[in-house]
Each structure stands twice: as structure tokens, then as C-alpha cells.
């Protein structure tokens, strides 16, 4: 009996080995014809003629690639450079006749300047974010959650009551020192936070990391509520009054005046101010927003990119030249309206596919921890990539760890840092656990996630196009809702981030820099609207790097000041249950 079993197993393995050896293969090298040497970036894709079943082979350090176990037939072969086809990378057709045939085919490319920029920004962004920034963001979130005794849970209801009182104009802080009300400060922060990161950023995360990426957004968002609390707290505690009589605060100030080591304090304050100004001018707070707005308006209405850029240029300029008071007044009215518009549309999509909701959640959570959980069809994906993309897009969206909310909260009429911390943390909840969840569910529940580059789809949907496709699948002209939402989200973000940037530069140069900065800001947003095509991901990768450089000094400063935040918060909220009697 045992002998028969061994013979059967041996025969099976022999046949299996024979069948594998009969599979054909395509192999070769990718050559940079400009330098005459192997090219070691990106991957090669192969697709059986007449199908959409793409296979991917990574290009190794020697520029080599190989596809194995292919059936006889005709294939289309081309190079993929992070969702773009490099210059000179033409599609090649190849026919395999014999089952065991080996076909050698070298591919030649002549990478353009934009190709090189795409490679540099993508690979640099990946290097910075994983593991360094991912670990730092989780670390500060966990530390502050522990030191504040789970404040995002224990004082969540109180924080929402404060926001609702502000919305109903029942806030009692109007007579306190500051420029705008705490509610207006929250709306300014939300104006900057709830932007195209919620539409394009979440969609891009799914398109590059799969449907599991948003899970890591949620985890980072939950921890980020404690981080955002600390930012709001420190922003008010260490703010100063500038020569115009306006409040100025943020990470550069709590680093400068909170850290006891004077040399380190000055360095961290200046480091944040420089990185913050760069992010506001060239990163996710400016060019990435106008880029997404122009893309969706061109896709839905055929509006030329330059025209959208000009309209946004005019509308943003009309508000930001009036300073924080005008920005706060506009944000108070604009932010609730735009969130309600998007919320309504997303709920309609989800309700129309309600029977698929359990399956959608299953796909989301399974693919967060295993790229094979959705059928193994995700090209180039790994759990590492899913985590990295989810956390970095989460930071882009909710800004917990960037320190931006501290700048907005420091302008509020308040003498109570803990109160401002509670109000600030609701921004992360609204942004990540509400708006981002709606975007994720609309894309997954409609099945549009399968039409993304990570699943090898010919359509290759990403950014606002992916979200618009999900809305179009249920609501006639649903893409118009995304177009309008993208415009409003992007517009509000531009207003908030312009203010952040001027405060960073004010810290370096004084108030004389404010008006020249505002002019530069609106010029750059016009330029950002016109950067389109297969290399538009450069804008997002630059934004990712800028976010990382901005977050690093803020996180380090908060780690140093975390003990003080925890002690004051514990004394304020938990000793003799003072938090239950906090006036709202």
C-alpha cells in the first residue's frame, strides 16, 4: 500500500515537472539607448492578444526580466514605468509557437526628463516613507494615545458637542484673545484637510495599493486623533502675537519655545518652517489640488486645463488677499456645504449597492493583510506597499502629524489649549473616518477598484477619474458630483494651505513676506493645473516627500513635548472628572 502511494506521488511530481518544463518563456533586457546600458527601473507587462489578463515581471538590477510558463499564442509586450510608458517604450507583438519555446526580446527606451523625474520622485518617496515615516507616525500616535488616556474615545462626545455649539453660534469664547472663533479655526483646518486627498488621494491609494490601503488610513486616523489633539493643544499654548497684532502659532513656535535645549529648539522651528513653506507652495497644499480639479473638469466637461487653472487662480486670490479673517468666514460656510453634498451622493451609491456592503468590507480588510486575498490579480503589490500607501495617503488626507492644524487653531479666540485640542481632533474623525470611508466604499462596492492599474486593467483608472467612475455607475451624470466636489474640496484646501504657508514664511522673514508669498502661491496653483498626462503622479510623489519633510520635525518636537501634553491633559480632564464639568 505504501509503495503504491509513493509511486503515485512520484508519478504526479514527474508529470508536474514535465508540464512546467513545457511552458514557454519570454526573457530579455531593457536597454537605455541614450546611455547604452541596462535600465533597472519599473517593470515589463505582457498581455495575451485580445484579453485584459496582464502579467508583470519586475526589472532586476541588471535590467533583466522573464515571463515563464506561457501558453503558445500571440502576446503584447511593453514596459511600465510606475503607471507611465517611458519615452521610446513601444508595444511589441510576439508570437509563441512551441510549448517549450524560449523567446528572447530586448526592449529599448530613451527616458525623457519627465520619466527620470517620475522615477526619482517615486523611489525617493518610497524610501522616505517606509519604514521611517510610517513608524514615526504610528509611534507618536500610540504614545499620545497612552499619555492622554485614550482621549479620542473618552472625550469624543464632548469634542463633538463643542463643534455643534460652534456651528450653532453658541460658542462662549468670542470675547477671548484671538483672530477667529474656535469653530472657524476648525473649519479653516477642515477646509485645508478635506480636500482632493479625500477624492483623488484615496482613489490613488486604492489604484496603487489595492482596496486594503484604506484600512491603514483608518488605523492611522484613529491614532492620529490623539496626535491632532496634541497639535491643537500645543498650537494655542505656545502661540505669540505678531507685529500686526495677529496670532501666530504652529509647530515652529512650540518647537522654538517648548523645547528646552535652545539650539535644538531653534533648529527644529526653522526646519519645520522651511519644509512647511515648501509643502504649501509645491506640494499637496497647492499644485496637487489644482491638478486634480483641472483633471476632473476636463474629464467630465471637456474644460481646458488652463481655463480651470485661471478660474481657481482668480477665486483663490480674491479670498486669500483678505487674510485669515476672510478665509475663516468663507470656510465656515463652504466646508459644511461641500461635505454634505459629497455625503449625499456617496450614500446614494452605497444604498444602491447595499447587498454588496458585507462583501465590500470583506475585500477591504482581507486585502489589507494579504494581496492574494482578492484573487492574486494585484500587479506589483505587497503588504509593505499597502501599508506604506495607506499611511502616506492618510497623512495627506487627515494631516495628523503634519502640524498644520496647530497653525489654524493658534488663530482661534481661546485661552484654553485643551479645549482647542478637542476641537482639533474632530477634524481627523470627520476627514478620515467619515469622508474617506465614503470614498472607499463607493469605489469598492461598485467594483471599480478592479479597473485600476494595480489589477492590470487596460482602463487604468486612478485619481478623481476612479471616484467619478464609481459615481457614474449608479447616478446619471454622477461624475458631475465628483467634479463639483473636487472643485469645492480643492478650493477650500487651497485657502487653508495658503494661510499655513504664510505663517511658516512669516516665522522666517517676518510679515513683509506675506503679500509676495500670496502672489507666488496663486501663480504656482495655475502651473499645477496644467501638469497633466501620464506623468501627473510626479505631483503626488513630490507632495508625499514634502509631507514627510514637514511631518518629521513636527513629530520629533511632539515626542519631546509629549510628557507635558499628557500631564496637563490628565490633570485637566481626568482628575476629579473635571472634563465632565468643562464649559462648552
Q: Kindly report the number of other CB atoms within 10 A of residue 266's CB atom.
A: 14
| Mean pLDDT computed over 285-295 | 83
Q: Tell me whether residue 18 is exposed, middle or buried, using C-beta atoms within 10 angstroms of its C-beta: 0 to 12, 13 to 18, 19 or more.
A: exposed
- Band of the pLDDT at 579, cuts 50, 70, 90? very low
Distance CA 218, CA 491 (A): 25
Coil, helix or strand at residue 318:
helix
| Mean pLDDT computed over 101-105 | 92
- Band of the pLDDT at 571, cuts 50, 70, 90? very high
- Nearest alpha-carbon partner for 433 in 231, 227, 214, 230: 214
Task: Collect all residues with Cβ–Cβ distance below 8 Å to 582 and sequence separation of at least 6.
Answer: 158, 419, 573
Greater confidence (84 vs 254) lies with: 254
For 141-168, the pLDDT digits (tens) are: 999 999 999 999 999 999 999 888 887 7
- Ranking 60-64, 254-258, 389-393 by mean pLDDT, the lowest is 389-393
- Band of the pLDDT at 75, cuts 50, 70, 90? very high
* pLDDT above 60 (res 5): no
- Band of the pLDDT at 324, cuts 50, 70, 90? confident
* pLDDT above 50 (res 466): yes
| Mean pLDDT computed over 363-374 | 78
| Mean pLDDT computed over 332-351 | 90
- Ranking 41-55, 84-98, 295-309, 568-582 by mean pLDDT, the lowest is 568-582
Distance CA 80, CA 86 (A): 7
Average per-residue pLDDT for the chain: 86
Residue 169 pLDDT: 75
Residue 19 pLDDT: 43
Going from the N-terminus, what domains does the chain have, and what CATH number goes with each?
26-111 (2.60.40.1120), 114-574 (1.20.1740.10)
Residue 105 pLDDT: 92
Name the percent of the chain lying above pLDDT 90. 44
Contacts by 124-129 with C-beta closer than 8 Å and gap 24+? 124/541, 124/545, 125/392, 125/541, 125/544, 125/545, 125/548, 126/388, 128/544, 128/545, 128/548, 129/388, 129/391, 129/392, 129/544, 129/548
Amino acid at each position: 500500500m505504501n509503495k503504491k502511494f509513493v509511486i503515485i506521488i512520484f508519478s504526479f511530481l514527474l508529470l508536474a515537472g514535465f508540464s512546467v518544463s513545457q511552458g514557454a518563456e519570454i526573457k530579455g533586457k531593457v536597454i537605455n539607448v541614450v546611455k547604452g546600458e541596462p535600465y533597472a527601473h519599473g517593470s515589463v507587462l505582457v498581455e495575451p492578444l485580445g484579453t485584459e489578463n496582464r502579467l508583470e515581471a519586475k526589472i532586476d538590477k541588471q535590467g533583466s526580466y522573464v515571463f515563464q510558463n506561457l501558453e503558445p499564442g500571440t502576446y503584447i509586450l511593453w514596459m511600465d514605468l510606475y503607471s507611465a510608458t517611458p519615452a521610446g517604450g513601444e508595444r511589441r507583438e510576439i508570437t509563441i509557437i512551441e510549448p517549450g519555446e524560449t523567446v528572447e526580446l530586448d526592449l529599448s527606451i530613451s527616458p525623457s526628463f519627465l520619466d527620470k523625474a517620475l522615477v526619482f520622485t517615486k523611489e525617493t518617496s518610497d524610501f522616505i516613507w517606509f519604514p521611517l515615516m510610517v513608524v514615526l507616525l504610528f509611534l507618536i500616535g500610540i504614545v499620545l494615545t497612552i499619555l492622554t488616556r485614550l482621549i479620542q474615545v473618552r472625550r469624543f462626545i464632548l469634542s463633538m458637542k463643542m463643534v455643534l455649539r460652534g456651528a450653532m453660534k453658541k460658542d462662549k469664547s468670542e470675547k477671548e484673545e484671538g483672530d477667529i472663533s474656535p469653530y472657524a479655526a476648525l473649519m479653516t483646518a477642515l477646509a485645508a484637510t478635506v480636500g482632493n486627498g479625500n477624492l483623488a488621494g484615496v482613489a490613488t491609494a486604492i489604484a496603487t495599493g489595492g482596496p486594503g490601503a484604506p484600512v491603514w488610513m483608518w488605523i492611522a486616523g484613529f491614532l492620529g486623533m490623539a496626535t491632532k489633539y496634541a497639535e491643537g493643544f500645543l498650537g494655542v499654548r505656545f502661540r505669540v502675537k505678531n507685529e500686526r497684532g495677529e496670532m501666530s502659532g504652529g509647530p515652529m513656535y512650540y518647537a522654538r519655545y517648548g523645547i528646552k535645549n535652545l539650539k535644538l529648539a531653534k533648529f527644529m522651528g526653522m526646519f519645520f518652517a522651511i519644509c512647511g513653506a515648501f509643502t504649501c507652495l509645491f506640494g499637496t497644499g497647492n499644485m496637487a489640488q489644482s491638478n486634480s480639479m483641472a483633471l476632473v473638469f476636463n474629464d467630465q466637461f471637456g474644460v481646458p486645463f488652463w481655463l480651470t487653472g485661471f478660474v481657481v487662480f482668480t477665486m483663490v486670490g480674491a479670498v486669500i488677499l483678505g487674510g485669515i479673517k476672510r478665509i475663516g468666514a468663507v470656510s465656515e460656510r463652504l466646508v459644511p456645504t461641500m461635505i454634505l453634498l459629497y455625503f449625499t451622493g456617496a450614500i446614494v451609491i452605497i444604498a444602491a449597492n447595499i447587498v454588496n456592503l458585507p462583501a465590500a468590507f470583506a475585500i477591504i480588510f482581507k486585502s489589507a493583510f494579504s494581496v492574494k486575498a482578492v484573487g492574486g490579480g494585484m500587479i506589483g503589490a505587497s503588504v509593505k506597499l499597502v501599508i506604506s500607501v495607506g499611511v502616506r495617503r492618510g497623512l495627506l488626507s487627515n494631516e495628523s502629524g503634519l502640524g498644520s492644524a496647530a497653525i489654524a487653531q493658534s488663530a482661534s479666540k481661546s485661552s484654553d489649549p485643551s479645549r482647542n485640542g478637542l476641537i482639533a481632533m474632530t477634524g481627523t474623525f470627520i476627514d478620515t473616518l467619515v469622508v474617506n470611508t465614503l470614498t472607499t466604499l463607493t469605489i469598492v462596492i461598485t467594483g471599480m477598484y478592479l479597473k485600476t492599474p494595480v489589477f492590470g486593467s487596460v482602463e487604468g483608472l486612478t485619481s478623481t477619474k476612479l471616484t467619478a467612475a464609481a459615481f457614474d455607475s449608479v447616478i446619471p451624470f454622477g461624475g458631475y458630483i465628483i467634479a463639483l466636489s473636487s472643485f469645492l474640496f480643492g478650493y477650500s484646501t487651497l485657502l487653508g494651505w495658503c494661510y499655513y504657508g504664510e505663517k511658516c514664511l512669516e516665522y522666517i522673514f517676518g510679515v513683509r513676506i506675506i503679500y509676495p508669498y500670496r502672489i507666488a502661491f496663486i501663480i504656482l496653483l495655475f502651473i499645477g493645473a496644467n501638469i497633466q498626462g501620464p506623468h501627473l503622479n510626479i505631483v503626488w510623489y513630490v507632495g508625499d516627500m514634502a509631507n514627510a519633510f514637514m511631518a518629521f520635525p513636527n513629530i520629533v518636537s511632539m515626542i519631546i513635548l509629549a510628557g507635558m501634553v499628557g500631564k496637563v491633559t490628565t490633570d485637566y480632564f481626568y482628575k476629579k472628572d473635571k472634563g465632565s464639568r468643562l464649559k462648552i
